[in-house]
Amino acid sequence: MSAERQGSLKGVDLIEEINRLREERNAVILAHYYQEPQIQDIADFVGDSLDLSRKAAETDAEVIAFCGVRFMAETAKILSPEKIVVLPDMDAGCSLEDSCPPDKFKAFREEHPDHIALTYINCSAAVKALSDIIVTSSSAEKILSQIPEEQKIIFAPDKHLGGYLARKTGRDMLLWPGVCIVHEAFSETELLKLMAKHPGAPVLAHPECPVAILDHADHVGSTSSILAKARETESDTVIVATEPHIMHQMEKALPGVNFIGAPGADGNCNCNICPYMALNTMEKLYTALRDLEPRIEIEESVRLEAKKSLDKMLAMASSTVGMGDIGAPRVTGD
């Protein structure tokens, strides 16, 4: 085996090789905003969870190299099963996914048979297969507005996003107690100090943040909506309460603006780098394209069930009028 195959990539021009392999493999590189800047820059498309799902469903490439976390790459495979989907590091998980094991979720659903399960996309394929409708942070409100008022709802697994939606829409939902460890780490005390230092600087926050942070935000939304809001700012300083790698896009768009990441309890924001997203590197992206490994595989029966709840999300997120056809709550006991 060559030194390169054993893991030493000395002498490899990663940008050149990734570009060559992308052509050779007929691959598309999709990246989330929380990936390191070099990965964002080499990707064919950078987006939020909903944008990336749509791209994965539409692409005619033969290979999808997914630079994000595992639930995102699984979503791509569920929607495009004929494609090879590689994830640079298969350990790129998510604390929200970990908080919601399928057996416990199934038992919870069985305790509440009259509730539909509206489930955040940050969950495993098995949990998607047990859910009625998937949502992302950018589509949740629109999808919720299409569910009849009298319909009882379980919202899983992010209690902060669920709580935010409940406060905003007045819908009473049963919340699964999961959290994102990254957004949970922001400190209200430190944020207030930063706001005092930069009076008038708008605070843009992701709804995965706890309510104590969201209460100080001028804008709450998905990564793509935070980015859109930042692009239209007239302020010379903007405080960003989400994973700090998104600031790469902001700094590229508005080089004259000072974007500051909201701090964690120790006063700096290193604790807000997503440790799962950070597992993907340019080196691993290169080897994933070279070896077409590690590959996402999903058992077909799980994939087909998970696809139903994802298809509902895609339809309801694009719907222009009226109530969505939500159907009856999924029967989980069989």
Three-point CA angle 57, 62, 65, nearest 5°: 75
CA distance 274 to 34: 7
Contact partner at residue 181 from ligand 13P, ligand SF4, none, CB < 5 to 8 Å by partner kind:
ligand SF4
CA distance 170 to 243: 28
* 259 touches 230 (CB < 8 A): yes
- In the bound state with ligand 13P, the residue whose beta carbon lies nearer, of 229 and 290, is 229
Using CB under 6 A, which of 40, 131, 223, 272 touches ligand 13P?
223
277 binds ligand SF4 (CB under 6 A): yes
CA distance 122 to 160: 13
Sheet containing 152-156: give its strands across: 133-135, 115-120, 152-156, 173-175
- H or E element: which one contains 291? helix 282-291
Using CB under 6 A, which of 122, 187, 223, 287 touches ligand SF4?
122
CA distance 188 to 239: 13
Residues 167-206 as x/- pattern, contact with ligand SF4 by CB under 6 A: -------------xxx------------------------
139 binds ligand SF4 (CB under 6 A): no
- In the bound state with ligand SF4, the residue whose beta carbon lies nearer, of 84 and 100, is 100
134 binds ligand SF4 (CB under 6 A): no
276 binds ligand SF4 (CB under 6 A): yes
Q: How many residues bind ligand 13P (CB under 6 A)?
A: 10
Residues 99-138 as x/- pattern, contact with ligand 13P by CB under 6 A: -----------------------x-------------xxx
CA distance 97 to 75: 13
| Cα–Cα nearest to 19, from 45, 43, 46 | 43
Give the count of beta carbons closer than 10 Å to the beta carbon of residue 151: 16
95 binds ligand 13P (CB under 6 A): no
Positions that interact with ligand 13P (CB under 6 A)? 34, 48-49, 122, 136-138, 208, 222-223
Which residue ranges make up the site for ligand SF4 (CB under 6 A)? 34, 69, 94-96, 122, 180-182, 208, 243, 274, 276-277
